[in-house]
Structure 1
Amino acid sequence: MSNYIRNVGNPSSITFISNPFMNVDTKCIAEQLSEMLSLDAGQVEMEIVTLQNGIHLKAHKARENFWCLVDIERLSGLCTAATKVANLFGSTYLCESVFSDMNYIKNRHRTRLTDTHLQDSLRIAVSSYSPDYNALVASMQCQASH
């Protein structure tokens, strides 16, 4: 994993994944991607040329789900590279989001939080759960008068 992260640090391969139709040295990009993923550089270079010459895919290059439209069987190396790069940035976003929430929760007015309370607060902050208040109110039993 550390080897993967060290090799991803090359900005030209990441830039190629985000914009595969820009003018690049295909041999250089193929070598970087093949080193990063332990693939055959010749195969990756052919996949880059095939991708860049695909008129159908070029029409959809601006879409967010571009790599979902690519044929995985024909361009398996490039799809693998795109998936790994996307996963790397997705997990970084989650870490930064939780860290930001933690800084918001642990402000100068709330300095005596226990680790358990901080964990519970973070879990609530990053959760997408939204309670159904109407159902909760309907299920409550009112106190009977005396």
Structure 2
Amino acid sequence: MGYEDLLKEAENLNVLIKEKKLKLRDGLCYGNRIAINSDLKTLKEKNATLAEELGHFETSSGNILDQSNVSNRKQEKRARNWAYEKLTGIISIISAFEKGIRNKYELAEYLNVTEEFLEQAIHHYREKYGIYYEIDTYIIYFEPNFSIIKKWF
């Protein structure tokens, strides 16, 4: 899912997106308005930022800028996890595998995310599922090395 796709989704949710200079952060969600830092250099960075801010729109409430508050940190993590699942969902990862993608660099390219975002998403899935996750005829290993295996019966 690319940046343009997320913009369309935001429009369908009646969320207004504006790119503007932000001094301290890459994105900000306030009600149904999201600001994306216009200084972000790549569409992949904008994509990840918009996904996280849409995650805030979908999962957060109130002002959570004070990250010394445990409740605010939990809401921040929930929004990030929403973004990971939106942009790097398990089914999308399997689809990439089926198309012959075998390394993290190619997978990040295929998913329109940065390698750093992909690494964070893999960490999220490791926290959520453990060392591996089985779905249909696939096993996705998150440790020790990220890999996908198709089971043959």
Same fold (TM over 0.5): no
Higher helix share: 1
Task: Give TM-score, length-normalised by structure 2.
Answer: 0.30
Higher strand share: 2
Please say which structure displays the higher CA radius of gyration: 1
Task: Give TM-score, length-normalised by structure 1.
Answer: 0.31
